[in-house]
Amino acid sequence: MANNHPVASHRITGGGGVSLHVEETGRAGGRPILFIHGFNQCRLVWSKQTNSGLADEFRLITLDNRGHGLSDKPRDAYGDSRLWAEDIAAVIAALRLDGVVLAGWSYAGLIICDYLRHFGEQKVAGVNLVGARTCIGTPAAVAATGPDYLPLRPKLFSADAAESIDGLASFLRLCTFRPLPPEEFYLFLGFNAIVPSYVRQGMMNRSLGNDDLLAALKSPFLVTHGLDDAVILPSHGEHNAARLAKATTSFYPEAGHNTFWENAERFNRELAAFARSL
């Protein structure tokens, strides 16, 4: 379904003065849903959500995380939880997203935890964790990670263009249960390739866990995870859900890390039902 609503672009100043590229579309008076992408991606990963029937009911906001897409890419600005939290807080404040649903894929689970730890749940109606990671740089994080992903990290961190592209291509193939059509694969590869290696290194060199935070949260959560996720294992989704006071789980058979892309119709239907329930 095409989106007949206009798309507005914004430049919003996040943590440490970083300029963030943010876009919004959909029904102006609808409940806001803020989509936060994962490691090495950009706002375009949510195209099957922003160009869907969700736009007729909800206000849909996407951003390029710091270091990604059209947002600023400073050095040494990826290890501080407070900076990530301030990015999300800035978008929520600038666009007046009271009662927002945060939908975060993969690494965005960490970003959402950063925000909730520093700014609390007051502005948030609910959270959709999508194949999401909530710990990094710890033994628990290694256990939550697919064994075929870990050997790719040296190539992903490399500043050599050919080596980096080879690693990115392998990573993208690992993200889906079925191979993407060429036009989709190379779209993803393109916006993965523009992320500098120092951004990838900075993001992956963090070390933290969030079990204590998850146990203290009162907001409703929807935990979405592919049963064939080879990047962040389904057991991590179960782990997160078990620590939350209000969690509903949705596990997708024959689905990898990119559930919202490979299974967009189901994902959009479940996200809409979750947002309506809040």
Q: Are 225 and 252 in contact (CB under 8 A)?
A: yes
CATH number of residue 209's parent domain? 3.40.50.1820
227 found inside a domain: yes
The predicted pLDDT at position 94 comes to 98
2 found inside a domain: no
Please say if the pLDDT value at position 3 is more than 80. no
Q: pTM value? A: 0.97
The predicted pLDDT at position 4 comes to 83
140 found inside a domain: yes
Mean pLDDT to the nearest integer, 80-85: 98
Domain extent, residue 163, equals: 8-276
Domains held by the chain: number: 1
Average pLDDT over the chain, rounded to an integer:
97
Summarize pLDDT for 199-256 with one digit per residue, the tens.
999 999 999 999 999 999 999 999 999 999 999 999 999 999 999 999 999 999 999 9
* pLDDT band at residue 123 using 50, 70 and 90 as cut-offs: very high
66 found inside a domain: yes
Mean pLDDT to the nearest integer, 115-122: 98
Please say if the pLDDT value at position 2 is more than 80. no
1 found inside a domain: no
